[in-house]
Amino acid sequence: MNNILDFIGIKLNYSDQVFRPTLISENCAKLTDFRDKSILDLGCGIGPLAIYFAKNGAKEVSACDIFDKHLEYTKKNARLNEVEIEIFQSDLFSNVKKKYDVICCDVSGVDKKVAELTGWFPEEVPKADETGSNLIIKVVKEAHKYLNKAGILNIATTSFSNVDSIENNISKNFLNSEVLIKIDVPFSRRLKENVKLLNEKSFKKIGDEYYWEFKLLKCSN
């Protein structure tokens, strides 16, 4: 089945086999400083961020993902929106050859169990490990090799990962980090039904409602 969704005014083809943009994607798009900059969208999914950056004044946009179906959709969606983006397959930075002013990273940052419980990730979409933080930590450790001088890494994290370890690695690899936004997101029905299976550190309860936390971090030197 092939459908079209609207992502902040951009039309995107999607199907039930690919990852659909979320609240996190929307915040990455709106809060990243990309105008007149070269930017890499790492873990591009069906292309929402890369296309948004290209449509709204980035100097040069590249997009990569490990999953070939996502790359097919990103190519199709770039054509649909008439933007020029360099699109390529890469396991994190494995095939990245250039340096960028900005890297915007929304790779899978949710522990495997939560990814399975929530249904956020269709079956074939690559997921993080049981800590939820393995991919993000690798990106934090390697990003400086792919950033221009004064380059910025924006990275999305969730409380369904080892946040302490991510923040510890950020402070080892970058001089500055700033929280661009922090949002308490109410649990979906499916998450609520499975709350007993979750690590207690990954959510908070206020009254009868449960919340997980999303943070977008800006790292620089």
Ligand X SMILES: C[S@@+](CC[C@H](N)C(=O)[O-])C[C@H]1O[C@@H](n2cnc3c(N)ncnc32)[C@H](O)[C@@H]1O
Q: Which residue is nearest to ligand X (CB)?
A: 45
Between CA 9 and CA 176 the distance in angstroms is 33
Enter the DSSP assignment of 188.
P
Judged by CB under 6 A, which stretch of 75-83, 102-110, 185-193, 208-216 contacts ligand X?
Answer: 102-110
Can you name the residues that pair with 104 across neighbouring β-strands? 41, 154
Q: How many CB atoms neighbour CB 96 within 10 A?
A: 19
Using DSSP's 3-state secondary structure scheme, residue 60 falls into: strand
Query: Residue 44 interacts with ligand X (CB under 6 A)?
Result: yes
Judged by CB under 6 A, which stretch of 41-49, 181-189, 196-204, 208-216 contacts ligand X?
Answer: 41-49
Query: Residue 65 interacts with ligand X (CB under 6 A)?
Result: yes
Tokens of 140: 């934090």
Query: Residue 70 interacts with ligand X (CB under 6 A)?
Result: yes
Would you say 90 or 154 has its CB closer to ligand X? 90
Contact assessment for residue 153 and residue 174, using Cβ atoms and an 8 Å cutoff: yes
Using CB under 6 A, which residues numbered 120 to 159 contact ligand X? Answer: 125-126, 135
Between CA 125 and CA 203 the distance in angstroms is 24
Would you say 93 or 203 has its CB closer to ligand X? 93
Q: How many CB atoms neighbour CB 55 within 10 A?
A: 15
How many residues touch ligand X (CB under 6 A)?
21
Query: Residue 108 interacts with ligand X (CB under 6 A)?
Result: yes
Selected from 21, 61, 140, 155, the binder of ligand X by CB under 6 A is 21
Judged by CB under 6 A, which stretch of 42-50, 75-83, 180-188, 198-206 contacts ligand X?
Answer: 42-50
Judged by CB under 6 A, which stretch of 86-94, 147-155, 181-189, 199-207 contacts ligand X?
Answer: 86-94
Would you say 38 or 205 has its CB closer to ligand X? 38
| DSSP assignment of 30-94 | HH---BTSEEEEES-TTSHHHHHHHHTTBSEEEEEES-HHHHHHHHHHHHHTT---EEEE-STTT
Tokens of 213: 């936390």
Question: Chain-centre distance of CA 1, in angstroms?
Answer: 24
Residues that bind ligand X (CB under 6 A): 19, 21, 25, 43-45, 48-49, 65-67, 70, 90-92, 106-108, 125-126, 135
